[in-house]
Amino acid sequence: MIPSTFPPKDEIARLTARALLEIRAVHFNAGTPFTLASGLPSPTYIDCRKLISYPRIRSTLMDFLSVTVMREAGFEAFDNIAGGETAGIPFAALVAERLALPMTYVRKKPKGYGRNARIEGAMTEGQRVLLVEDLTTDGGSKLSFVDAIRETGATCGHTAVIFSYGIFPDTEAKLGAHGVRLHHLCTWWDVLAEARAQGSFDAATLAEVESFLTAPRAWQDARKA
């Protein structure tokens, strides 16, 4: 069923943050920071992949993501929904089902045998493709997926994620320079506000998280091994 009426954007952000906290997809640890894929430390970590195991929350957030895209990009803006390997694949399938559109997925790199393809499924020249992923940090990883989509002759001017870090000021500019607009449900600031409202973590941990969110590069530089 195609969703049409849902809460305003700020309430969607709050409810998404609440859902992520409820399923313990949010991890804060100021004493022993996590190591990100970049090798840099962070007191925050989020695991959106957990959402696939919670049907009620999963369904609600996919409704939110679908209606956000329709509100911000248009009701007839897309012909194909593409998921980024691997975390984006289930969410792309769920959004495609709601929007009654074909679904494809994009590999991180050619599989190295057979057709050596990066695009799996049927994507054709001229199609307007929405790239769906679980999250974005600084937006950089999206560009390779977008380029692979465009190599088919399709267009890709939008990407939708459940979670955007929201702390790197050049994220949307980087995507915008590549001709891509970002759509998201919530950010770390929404999660921090909801965590405070719920008392999900102690005050010292939340203060350290806020310090990181306010100046992430400085926080990381001060704690590099």
pLDDT digit string (tens) for 18-57?
A: 999 999 999 999 888 998 777 788 999 999 999 999 999 9
pLDDT at site 1: 65
Cite the beta strand spans of 47-199 per DSSP E: 80-84, 103-106, 119-120, 128-136, 155-164, 181-187
> Closest Cα to residue 183, out of 146, 108, 133?
133
Residue 6: its pLDDT value, please? 85
Name which residue leads in pLDDT, 1 or 100.
100
What pLDDT is stored for residue 31 in this prediction?
86
Q: What is the pLDDT of residue 225?
A: 61
Q: pTM to 2 decimals?
A: 0.93
Q: How far apart are CA 48 and CA 163, in angstroms?
A: 8
pLDDT in tens, 103-112: 999 999 887 6
Determine contact, residues 91/162, Cβ cutoff 8 Å: yes
CB atoms within 10 A of CB 179: 12
User: What is the percent of the chain with per-residue pLDDT over 70, rounded to a whole number?
Assistant: 96
Q: Which two tokens stand for residue 141?
A: 């990883």
| Residue 29 DSSP label | -
Model confidence at 116: pLDDT above 80: no
Residue with tokens 């405070």: 196
pLDDT band at 94 (very low <50, low <70, confident <90, very high): very high
What would the CATH number be for the domain defined by 9-221? 3.40.50.2020
- Tell me the pLDDT band of 115, cut-offs 50, 70 and 90: low
Q: Give the whole-angstrom CA distance, residue 18 versus residue 165.
A: 16
Q: Which among 107, 159, 93 has a CA at the least distance from the CA of 128? A: 159
Phi, psi of 143, rounded to the nearest 5 degrees: -65, -40
Q: For the chain, what is the mean pLDDT?
A: 93
* pLDDT tens readout for residues 76-89: 999 999 999 999 99
Type of residue at 134 = D
